[in-house]
């Protein structure tokens, strides 16, 4: 009788632990995907396109001879 009770308790703990393992595996996969995105962004920040984008959008710089059209507010 005692063995049967202990077995039920152990099986319940195993189910809880399995659910935790599945949750943690999901978190690992999510973090691995995030790490890959960061790696790709790091590569992008080393490109001429990124530098041009920042220079244009954030600093308002333009190429020599470039014409800017702005809409009146």
Domain boundaries, the chain: 2-57
Q: What is the pLDDT averaged over residues 24-51?
A: 97
Q: What is the dihedral of CA 7, 11, 12, 17, to 10 degrees?
A: 140
Q: What is the pTM (predicted TM-score) of this model? A: 0.62
With bands split at pLDDT 50, 70 and 90, how would you rate the model's confidence at 61?
confident
Residue 69 is predicted with a pLDDT of 80
Q: What is the DSSP string of 56-71?
A: HHTT----TT------
With bands split at pLDDT 50, 70 and 90, how would you rate the model's confidence at 12?
very high
Residue 25 is predicted with a pLDDT of 98
């Amino acid at each position: 009788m005692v063995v049967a009770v202990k077995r039920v308790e152990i099986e319940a703990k195993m189910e809880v632990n399995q659910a935790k393992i599945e949750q943690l595996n999901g978190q690992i996969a999510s973090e691995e995907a995030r790490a890959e995105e960061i790696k790709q962004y790091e590569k992008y920040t080393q490109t001429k396109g990124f530098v041009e984008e920042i220079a244009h959008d954030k600093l308002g710089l333009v190429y020599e001879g470039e014409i800017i059209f702005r809409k009146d507010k």
